């Protein structure tokens, strides 16, 4: 049959991530970053010839308000970025695409780049230790309950892709379940529409402890284009305690996989653990 010869000719297409890096993850356009990522580029006082140098003009490049200034330096909130690329196209000297899909963070402020963003390492260490304590019992039986809380549908396509032969999340002992009573992880997508607040909270309350909440996609991390309205929240963080934030509109399957593995302590926020034994084995 044709699928047999095709399979033999193509060989194994399943990623080996996180045991080793994968070319699939490096081929996508990536998340937006600042050229000077640590402190953020300085914002010129004078408007240059292209007319887009002032802080107000730079902020106007982003339809979701992801670009701002602090102490005369730019900062970029990946949690608000919808990957439209307007800023990269207009000011490639200030913004660029970072091809790495490993963008998840265990705290919301970790999605903000530049502007001398200060992180309390002591507090972060406590968050990591608490998350590790709660997920220590999860080995080769990790179950995810996915809830769409008002998405545009794009996030769901990427979540579904985790089960295909390329990503094959089941190889890591991670499975999706229809029952919250069997779930260890609540994966929420969407803006948090008013009509779904009740079902989301009931799902969370029905899950056994310990449990983990992942906000997947820009809609879930910040509310996306609409932000807070009479019918939507400002993201899942307004409704539930979030453990892992995965930006992107939509996030790639690799970004979702990175966020899930980050919640389980198998990878770090800056990428994979370095080898199959670098994190806690499933």
pLDDT value for 160: 94
Average pLDDT over residues 218-229: 88
pLDDT value for 37: 60
Cα–Cα dist 178/192, whole Å: 20
Give residue-wise pLDDT tens across range 188-213. 999 999 899 999 999 999 999 888 99
Where does the pLDDT of residue 9 fall: very low under 50, low under 70, confident under 90, or very high at 90 and above?
confident
For the chain, list the strands marked E by DSSP: 31-34, 67-70, 73-77, 95-98, 112-114, 142-148, 174-176, 185-189, 212-216, 244-246
Do 212 and 185 contact (CB within 8 A), yes or no? yes
pLDDT value for 47: 38
Q: What is the pTM of this model?
A: 0.86
Average pLDDT over residues 272-277: 38
pLDDT value for 281: 38
Give residue-wise pLDDT tens across range 116-140. 555 566 777 777 787 787 777 776 7
Is the pLDDT confidence value at 50 over 60? no
Place of tokens 């200030």: 94
Q: Out of 62-76, 147-161, 256-270, give the one with best mean pLDDT.
A: 147-161
Cα–Cα dist 111/103, whole Å: 8
Is the pLDDT confidence value at 29 over 60? yes
pLDDT value for 57: 84
pLDDT value for 220: 94
Is the pLDDT confidence value at 2 over 80? no
pLDDT value for 126: 76
Question: Which has more confidence, 47 or 233?
Answer: 233
pLDDT value for 266: 83
Cα–Cα dist 200/220, whole Å: 12
Pair of tokens at residue 48: 């240059």
pLDDT value for 228: 81
Average pLDDT over residues 57-71: 86
Cα–Cα dist 202/45, whole Å: 51
pLDDT value for 11: 77
pLDDT value for 184: 92
pLDDT value for 42: 56
Range with the poorest average pLDDT among 38-47, 57-66, 160-169 = 38-47
Where does the pLDDT of residue 26 fall: very low under 50, low under 70, confident under 90, or very high at 90 and above?
low
């Amino acid at each position: 049959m044709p699928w047999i010869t095709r399979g033999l000719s193509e060989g194994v297409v399943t990623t080996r991530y996180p045991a080793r890096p994968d070319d699939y993850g490096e081929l996508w356009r990536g998340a937006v970053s600042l050229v000077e990522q640590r402190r953020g580029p300085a914002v010129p006082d004078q408007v240059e010839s292209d007319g887009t140098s002032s802080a107000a003009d730079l902020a106007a490049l982003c339809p979701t308000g992801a670009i701002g200034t602090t102490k005369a330096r730019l900062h970029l909130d990946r949690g608000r970025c919808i990957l439209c690329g307007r800023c990269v196209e207009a000011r490639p000297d200030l913004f660029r695409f970072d091809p790495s899909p490993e963008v998840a963070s265990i705290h919301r402020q970790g999605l903000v780049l530049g502007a001398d963003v200060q992180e309390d390492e002591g507090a972060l260490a406590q968050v990591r230790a608490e998350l590790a304590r709660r997920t220590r019992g999860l080995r080769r039986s990790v179950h995810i309950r996915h809830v769409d809380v008002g998405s545009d549908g794009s996030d769901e396509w990427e979540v579904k892709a985790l089960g295909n032969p390329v990503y094959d999340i089941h190889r890591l002992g991670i499975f999706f379940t229809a029952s919250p009573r069997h779930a260890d992880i609540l994966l929420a997508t969407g803006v948090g529409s008013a009509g779904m607040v009740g079902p989301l909270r009931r799902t969370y309350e029905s899950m056994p402890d310990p449990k983990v909440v992942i906000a997947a996609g820009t809609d879930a991390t910040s509310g996306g284009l609409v932000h807070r309205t009479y019918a939507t929240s400002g993201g899942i963080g307004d409704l539930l305690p979030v453990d892992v934030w995965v930006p992107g509109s939509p996030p790639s399957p690799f970004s979702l996989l990175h966020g899930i593995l980050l919640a389980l302590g198998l990878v770090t926020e800056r990428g994979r653990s370095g080898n199959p034994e670098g994190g806690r084995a499933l």
